[in-house]
Each structure stands twice: as C-alpha cells, then as structure tokens.
Amino acid sequence: MNASWQTFLESLGAVMQNGRVQHFGNASAELRYALDQVIVADLSDLSLIQFAGEDAQTYLQGQLSNDLRLLDGSNSQLTSYCSPKGRMIANFLLWQDAPNSYLAQLPASLREPIQKRLSMFVLRSKVKVSDASEAWVRLGVGGAGAQAVVTSVLGEAPSTVHGLVHHASGSILRLPGDLFELLIAPDQANAIWHKLTTHAKAVGTACWDGLMIRAGIPTILPGTQEAFVPQMVNYELIGGVNFKKGCYPGQEIVARTQYLGKLKRRMYVGNLMLDTAPQPGDELFSADLPDQATGMIVNAAPAPGGGYDVLAVIQIASVEGNAIHWKSLDGPTLKLGVLPYAIPA
C-alpha cells in the first residue's frame, strides 16, 4: 500500500493489518451495512501488472484463457493463466488502458511470482512487463445504488457489466453484482475518497471480499494455485474463457473438459459457522466419499449473519443429497446458498 495513502486512511480511523484495512471502527456493523447499502472499500491488497509494447496483445493472447482482441479500451474481461495441465495458476481482471498497453489485476500476494513467470516467456517479443500497482489507488464501490454514487462523484459510470470508462482522475470498471472498481491518481485519491464517503459508508476490505463471494466471482490465491481447471470455478459461466480464441497453455485440456468430458466438480456459495476463518485450500468432506476430500475452499470472508461466507469447489455428486463438512466428516457443516447465475445440470 502506498505509504501516504495508508496514513490518510489511518487518519480517518482505518485499522490496518499487513497493509489491509480491517475496519473503520466497527467491523460487524460494516458487514451488515454492506448487505443492502452502498459501501466504499480500499483495494490495496490487489496489485497491477502492466504489459506494454507493440507485441503486448499478441503475447498475452498466447498466454491467457480469454480473447484480448475483444478489448478496445471501453471494456474489461475476466481471464486466467493456466498451467500446461489446464490448472489455474492465477486469474485476472484485464483491460486495455492505452494503445498497446494492458493492465492485469490480481492479488498482491501473487503479483511478484506471476510477473516473474510471465516475463520468462516474453523472449524476443516487444513487451515490457512491470509492476504498475503504485500508479493508482484502487477503490471498490458496491451495493444497490453504487452506480448513482459513482456517477455523482465522477460524472459517469459504466452502464453495462465489464464496461470501462475513463475520467479525469483515472478509470472506472464495472463488475457483476453492482460492483465498481475505481482507479484513482494518487494525488487526487484523498479528495475523491471524501466525496465518496458523503454518499457511501467506508468499510474494511473484507466487506468487498464478501460482495465478490456473493457475486460468485472467484479469486485464485496461493493456497489454490493449480487446483482447478477454469470450469470448476464456473469461469466459463462468468465470461472468463473464450473457446474460439486459439492456443494458450492448457487450452487443449480446458477445451476437452468443455466439449468431451463430464465436469465432476463445480463452485458453490455457502456459509460456515466458524469462529476461525477458513482458508483457501481447506478441504471439505462428505459421507459419500469417506476416504477422500470432496471439495476445497476457494475464498472466504466474514459473513454479516455470523461465521464465514465461502466459495467452494465441490463434487457435484456430493452436493446432491449429502452434507458437506469442513476439514473432516465430523467437522462443521457447510450451509449451501444460491449463486446469482445458473449452474448447468
């Protein structure tokens, strides 16, 4: 996190831990507020990798699961970077920020290793791969009425999901679920935060994580790298895979899973009533598979009603008529919820 930005947030009452805003005084009240009111959250735990140069599009087209040729500066897309076995090493929110330049947003914990790995394959391509995280302050605005708040402060907001507009202070991206991400120039961030918080409540970053979980948007973290093919986390259902784009690492396996195989695992949303946060990579169990795990936690965030809301990849057969338990067959039971999009039968 930018040091001056952290000092500014702390001056407003932000409680920080490891560069992440925990809350602004009352974490539980903030979680409840985020259920049906407009919130604004700092997103400094996300980082940006910039890919710039005349070969940037061609290079990324050969690395990622979505079709970069569909990006034109007015939209963004979800995409993934897979191993040769089709397993997700990372996933991104990606957009074109200038001619021959793209920004990929991912968790800060993965930025350095992913940037290093992708740089290894540039070879003679005219592409520069760099850390662009300090160039922008990243904010999330979410909840019913978020579009009106963003418009009132910045003059406009994207009207469609994955729309992108640029303004005098930076850029605005729209995600599913009435979620907006703002990229703000650091020298203007303080003023815009003050304007936003006249219409929206400042909350800890966990509130934003919860909104992303309830929107069914997964984030690959160190504990889940190479655990899933994209379809297991419903990535083709939310626009993160293009099956007509051509080759990329793992493409053959991803395509075979789509057209020739029968997917045995899918991602579901649910709640675990725990006092301790479940971690990405934690295993889940059910009675129909007593000798092996039936699933895995993808993401988790404190829930407004208690416990933790989670995204979890689970054996489809286990979900149908079986209780799902955290860490062991006699562990706490996962209460399944309903995603905002349909999962194919």
For the segment 97-148, what is each residue's pLDDT rounded down to a tens digit?
A: 999 999 999 999 999 999 999 999 888 889 999 999 999 999 999 998 999 9
Asked if 58 and 9 sit in the same domain, the reply is: yes
Span 70-94, pLDDT tens digits: 999 999 999 999 999 999 999 999 9
145 in a domain, yes or no? yes
Axis crossing angle, helix 186-196 with helix 3-11, rounded to the nearest 10: 20
Asked if 38 and 53 sit in the same domain, the reply is: yes
Asked if 250 and 292 sit in the same domain, the reply is: no
Q: Residue 19: what pLDDT?
A: 87
Asked if 206 and 307 sit in the same domain, the reply is: no
Q: Residue 168: what pLDDT?
A: 87
203 in a domain, yes or no? yes
Q: How far apart are the first and last CA of the chain?
A: 43
Give the C-alpha distances (Å, rounded to integers) separating 186 from 103, 166, 193, 200, 208. 17, 15, 11, 20, 21
Q: Residue 112: what pLDDT?
A: 98
Using alpha carbons, select from 82, 45, 47, 113 the residue that is nearest to residue 227. Answer: 82
Asked if 202 and 293 sit in the same domain, the reply is: no
Asked if 298 and 177 sit in the same domain, the reply is: no
Axis crossing angle, helix 205-214 with helix 27-36, rounded to the nearest 10: 40
Q: Residue 1: what pLDDT?
A: 81
Asked if 275 and 312 sit in the same domain, the reply is: yes
Identify the domain boundary among 206, 237, 260. 260
Rounded to 5°, angle at Cα 112 from 106 and 114:
65
Identify the domain boundary among 207, 240, 260. 260
Asked if 193 and 279 sit in the same domain, the reply is: no
For position 275, which CATH number holds? 2.40.30.110
18 in a domain, yes or no? yes
Q: Decide if pLDDT at 331 tops 80.
A: yes
Contacts of 301 (CB under 8 A, 6+ apart): 206, 207, 209, 210, 212, 213, 308, 309, 310
Asked if 164 and 41 sit in the same domain, the reply is: yes
Asked if 204 and 76 sit in the same domain, the reply is: yes
Span 136-151, pLDDT tens digits: 999 999 998 999 999 9
Asked if 284 and 249 sit in the same domain, the reply is: no
For position 137, which CATH number holds? 3.30.1360.120
Q: Residue 54: what pLDDT?
A: 96
Tell me what percent of the residues of the chain surpass a pLDDT of 90.
Answer: 93
Span 156-202, pLDDT tens digits: 999 999 999 998 889 999 999 889 999 999 999 999 999 999 999 99
261 — pLDDT class (breaks 50, 70, 90): confident
Q: Residue 284: what pLDDT?
A: 98
342 in a domain, yes or no? no
Q: Residue 260: what pLDDT?
A: 86
- CB-facing half-sphere around the CA of 23: CA atoms within 13 A: 11
Q: Residue 120: what pLDDT?
A: 92
268 in a domain, yes or no? yes
113 in a domain, yes or no? yes
Structural domain span for residue 268:
264-336
21 in a domain, yes or no? yes
Counting the structural domains of the chain, the total is 2
Asked if 179 and 205 sit in the same domain, the reply is: yes
293 in a domain, yes or no? yes
**Six-digit token pair at 156?**
């406009």
